[in-house]
Structure 1
């Protein structure tokens, strides 16, 4: 992705965040969740994080949470 495209996508995130806050404040929490997913996808794309990497990271976190719950 070129620098111009990256810059344009980064500028979309604050706009989506503002829109998310508006829809959530009006009681549309599911719509807010969908916008959150769009923001997350943009961040993954901008940082070149693959779905496989995200899945592996999630698995590591899950294992860590489970093991910390058992040690309490």
Structure 2
């Protein structure tokens, strides 16, 4: 998953985390589970700068039974 971060503030972002919410979706579209994974923010991000980072979001095979699939639908960021 590739995410672009843009710092629109006046000072550099020095640290933080990005959280991915990956959903296990059944064959009929039912959301069976939401699994979170957290990674470090690609810091520092200077004032007015844009940074792009790619992560592999993995789910244990036993969590995704035959006929289901995964979708990372939500991404949230906390920075300092």
Same fold (TM over 0.5): no
Please give the TM-score of this superposition, normalised by the length of structure 1.
0.24
Please give the TM-score of this superposition, normalised by the length of structure 2.
0.23
With a CA cutoff of 8 Å and minimum separation of 6, indicate the structure with the bigger relative contact order: 2
Which structure's residues are more often strand, by fraction? 2
Which structure's residues are more often helix, by fraction? 1
Rg larger in structure: 1
